[in-house]
Structure 1
Amino acid sequence: MGIITMIVIGLIAGAIARLLIPGRQHIGWLATIVVGIVGSYVGGTLGSLVFAPHVFSVHPPVHHLFLGSIVGAVIVLLIFNMFRARR
C-alpha cells in the first residue's frame, strides 16, 4: 500500500509543480510521477536540514509534509528544465 500512496502523492505533487512552473513542460504522466517522487525526497531532505538540523534522515515521501513534496518537485522540475534547455 505504501508504493501506491507514494505514486499517488508523486503524481499530485508533480502535477502541481508543473502548474506552478510557467511555460509548457513536455513530459508525460510517468515523468510527472517521477518528478513528484524525487521532489518529495528533495523537499523532505531540505526540510530536515532547515527545520531539524540535528536530524538528517531520508524517509519515504509519505512521511513528509505535502507542501515539502511540492516545493521539492518544483526544484526538481526547474533543474530538469535547465538541463533540457541546454540540449
Structure 2
Amino acid sequence: MHWIAVFIIGLIIGLLARALTPGRGPHGIILTALLGIAGSIVGTWAGQTLGWYAPGQPAGFIASVVGAMLLLLLHRMLTRQS
C-alpha cells in the first residue's frame, strides 16, 4: 500500500511541476510519477544540504515540486543540445 501512495503523490507532484514549468516535458503517467518521485529526492537532498531539513526528514510538498521543476529544466537543457 505504501508504494501506491508514493506513486500517487509522485504523480501529483509531477503533474504540478509540468504545469508550472513552461515548454514540453516527458509524457506519460509513469514518467510523470517518476519525475515527481525524483523531484522529492532532489528536494530532500537540497533541503538537508542547506540545513532546512534534519537528516532523515523528507522534503515538503513545495520543495518536492521545486525539485521536479529543476529536473524538468535540466532535461530540457540536455535534450535541446542533442
Same fold (TM over 0.5): yes
Count of aligned positions = 82
Contact 1:45 1:56 in 2 (8 A): no
Q: Which runs of 5+ in 2 are unaligned?
A: none
Query: TM-score, normalised to structure 1's length?
Result: 0.80
Q: Which runs of 5+ in 1 are unaligned?
A: none
When residues 52 and 70 of structure 1 are mapped into structure 2, their CA distance, relative to the original with a 3 A threshold, is closer
CA RMSD of aligned residues (A): 1.9
Runs (4 or more) in structure 1 with deviation over 3 Å come to none
Which residue identity does 2:76 align to in structure 1? N
Give percent identity, aligned residues only. Answer: 37
Query: TM-score, normalised to structure 2's length?
Result: 0.84
When residues 26 and 64 of structure 1 are mapped into structure 2, their CA distance, relative to the original with a 3 A threshold, is closer
